[in-house]
Chain A
Amino acid sequence: MSKNTVTTETATSGIGPVEGASLYDVDHPAPLIEAPRKRTKKTPKSTRGNFEMYGWLFMRLSGVVLVVLVIGHLLIQLVLDGGVSKIGFAFVAGRWASPFWQVWDLLMLWLAMLHGANGLRTVINDYAERANTRLWLKGLLYTATVFTILLGTLVIFTFDPNIR
C-alpha cells in the first residue's frame, strides 16, 4: 500500500490564493444559483388537463398521415410526369378542379402547420428559460401559424381558375 502514495499536485486552477482581496469569504459567500422546482408564490398551479396528452397523440397520428400526404405531394409535384417543369397556373387549376385534391391539400396544410407549430411549441418550452421569452416566442409562433392556415384555407376554397 505504501506504493500507493501520492505524487505531485499541479494546481492549474484559480482556487487558492486569489489576487487582491477576495469578494467572498466565510461570512459573505457567493450567491448560489437558485434551485429549480422551488415552491414560491410565483410558482404556477399545476395544470391537470389532458392538453399535453392530446398534443402528444396528435403528433404521432398526424405524423403518420403526413408521411403519406407529403410523399404523395412531392412525387406528384416534383417527380412524376415531367417533374417540376410541368408546374404552372394551369397545372394547379387542373388539380384543384377536383374536390379530392382540394381535400388532400387542405388536410396537408392543416396537419403540417399544426404538427410543425406544436413541435416548435415544445422546442420553445424546452429551450426558452424565461417566462417572457416564452411568451413572445409563442405569440409569434401562434400568429404565424394562424395567419398561414387561414390564408391557405382561403386560397383553396376561393381559388378562381378564370382569374386574369
Chain B
Amino acid sequence: MATPTLDKADGAGAPEAGFADSPYITATFRIRRFNSEVSAEAVWEDFQLEIDPKERVLDALHKIKWDQDGTLTFRRSCAHGICGSDAMRINGKNRLACKTLIKDLSPEKPITVEPIKGLTVLKDLVVDMEPFFQAYRDVMPFLITKDTNEPTRERLQTAEDRERFDDTTKCILCAACTSSCPVFWNDGQYFGPAAIVNAHRFIFDSRDEAGEQRLEILNDKDGVWRCRTTFNCTDACPRGIEVTKAIQEVKRALITRRF
C-alpha cells in the first residue's frame, strides 16, 4: 500500500518528465576573497556552478568549497537560520547565507558575496566578531536582580509583560544589523543595534531590576543617541526584529525617566 504522497509523485511524474528542461541553472558567484598570507588586498573571484535556483546561497558556497576551491573560508554552524554564524553581504545587502534562496537574487547576473562590513576581515568571509561581542557584553545581557538569595520558585510574569519585549528576544547575534549600520562603519565605537536590542530585551523585562544601569550605559556618548534612524538594521535583520523601533523605545525610556 503506497502512501498518498508517493502515489502523487509517481502520478505527476514531473521530475522525470522535466529531464530535458533541467531545474539547474548556471550561476556566477563573485566572492570577495582575502588571505593575509598571500596579499594585503582583498580581491573578487568568480565561481561558476550549476545549481538549483531553489537552493540557498550557503549550498552554493558549500559546492564551491567542496568541489572547486577548498581554501574558500566562511562560517556556518546550524545552516538553518538559528545559530547566526553565516551573516554575509550578499548582493550588497546583509543576509544569512542559509536563509537566502538563489532564485530571489536574480541569478542571471553575478551574485556578489562579501564579508559583513565594519569588522576586521580575518580570511575570505570570516570577520573578527570580538568588537561586536564586546559591545554585547557591555550592556550586561543577563538577568540581574536585587535580592541576592537563591530563588525558591520560578520568577513569574504576566503574558502582557512577556509580550513587551518579545520582539527583541528573537536576536541570534549574527551581526547583520550592526555591520549594516553606517554609524558603526565609521569608528566602531557606537554600541550598534545588536547590543541595544539585547539591552532592550532586559530593560523592558519586568523580572529584571538593572534596567536603570543599562539605560545609563546606553546614555553614553556612543550609545543610543548616535542612532540616525536610517533603518538599515531593521532591513538587515534576518529574524525580522524591528531593530530601529527597539532603539527608539530605549531613547524614549531615557527621556521619560528624566522628565
Residues of chain A touching chain B, judged by Cβ–Cβ distance below 8 Å, are 3-15, 18, 22-26, 29-39, 46-53, 55-57, 122, 125-127, 129
> Does A5 lie within 8 Å of B119, measured CB to CB?
no
* B44 contacts across to A, CB distance below 8 A: 12-13
Identity of the chain B residue whose Cβ is nearest the Cβ of A51 in the assembled complex: B221
Identity of the chain B residue whose Cβ is nearest the Cβ of A55 in the assembled complex: B225
> Does B254 lie within 8 Å of A24, measured CB to CB?
no
The residue from A32, A50, A127 contacting B120, defined by CB atoms under 8 A apart: A32
Q: Which of the listed residues B134, B219, B258 has the most CB atoms from chain A within 10 Å of its own CB?
A: B219
> Does A10 lie within 8 Å of B38, measured CB to CB?
no
> Does A24 lie within 8 Å of B39, measured CB to CB?
yes
| A–B complex contacts, Cβ < 8 Å, 27 sampled | A4-B24, A4-B50, A6-B49, A7-B26, A7-B48, A7-B49, A8-B48, A9-B46, A9-B48, A9-B69, A10-B47, A18-B38, A22-B39, A29-B37, A31-B36, A32-B120, A35-B131, A37-B131, A37-B188, A37-B189, A48-B219, A52-B221, A52-B223, A56-B251, A126-B186, A126-B226, A129-B186
Identity of the chain B residue whose Cβ is nearest the Cβ of A35 in the assembled complex: B120
- How long is the Cα–Cα vector from A6 to B212 in the complex, in angstroms? 56
Residues of chain B touching chain A, judged by Cβ–Cβ distance below 8 Å, are 22, 24, 26, 33, 35-41, 43-52, 63-64, 67-69, 118-122, 128, 130-131, 134-135, 182-184, 186-189, 216-217, 219-223, 225-226, 228, 251, 254-255, 258
The residue from A11, A24, A33, A127 contacting B38, defined by CB atoms under 8 A apart: A24
> Does A24 lie within 8 Å of B37, measured CB to CB?
yes
> Does A47 lie within 8 Å of B221, measured CB to CB?
yes
Identity of the chain A residue whose Cβ is nearest the Cβ of B189 in the assembled complex: A37
Identity of the chain B residue whose Cβ is nearest the Cβ of A123 in the assembled complex: B228
> Does A52 lie within 8 Å of B189, measured CB to CB?
no
Q: In the complex, how many angstroms separate the beta carbon of B41 from the nearest chain A beta carbon?
A: 7
Q: In the complex, how many angstroms separate the beta carbon of B196 from the nearest chain A beta carbon?
A: 14
The residue from B38, B220, B226, B254 contacting A47, defined by CB atoms under 8 A apart: B220
* B120 contacts across to A, CB distance below 8 A: 32-35
Q: In the complex, how many angstroms separate the beta carbon of A154 from the nearest chain B beta carbon?
A: 33
* A38 contacts across to B, CB distance below 8 A: 131
Identity of the chain A residue whose Cβ is nearest the Cβ of B24 in the assembled complex: A3
* A7 contacts across to B, CB distance below 8 A: 26, 48-50
> Does B186 lie within 8 Å of A127, measured CB to CB?
yes
Q: In the complex, how many angstroms separate the beta carbon of B222 from the nearest chain A beta carbon?
A: 8
> Does B40 lie within 8 Å of A31, measured CB to CB?
yes
- How long is the Cα–Cα vector from A55 to B64 in the complex, in angstroms? 51
* A49 contacts across to B, CB distance below 8 A: 219, 221
* B118 contacts across to A, CB distance below 8 A: 36
- How long is the Cα–Cα vector from A32 to B52 in the complex, in angstroms? 37
> Does A50 lie within 8 Å of B219, measured CB to CB?
yes
* A37 contacts across to B, CB distance below 8 A: 131, 134-135, 188-189
- How long is the Cα–Cα vector from A32 to B127 in the complex, in angstroms? 11
- How long is the Cα–Cα vector from A21 to B118 in the complex, in angstroms? 31
Q: Which of the listed residues A4, A5, A31 has the most CB atoms from chain B within 10 Å of its own CB?
A: A4
Given that A15-B45, A33-B120 are known contacts, is A9 also in contact with B37, CB under 8 Å in the complex?
Answer: no
* B47 contacts across to A, CB distance below 8 A: 9-10
> Does A22 lie within 8 Å of B38, measured CB to CB?
yes
Given that A24-B40, A50-B258 are known contacts, is A36 also in contact with B45, CB under 8 Å in the complex?
Answer: no
- How long is the Cα–Cα vector from A127 to B131 in the complex, in angstroms? 20
> Does B68 lie within 8 Å of A6, measured CB to CB?
yes
> Does B220 lie within 8 Å of A48, measured CB to CB?
yes
Q: In the complex, how many angstroms separate the beta carbon of A122 from the nearest chain B beta carbon?
A: 8
- How long is the Cα–Cα vector from A23 to B37 in the complex, in angstroms? 9
> Does B183 lie within 8 Å of A5, measured CB to CB?
no
Q: What would 10 more interface pairs be, CB under 8 Å, given A12-B45, A13-B46, A126-B182? A: A7-B26, A8-B48, A22-B39, A37-B131, A37-B134, A46-B220, A47-B220, A52-B223, A52-B226, A122-B226
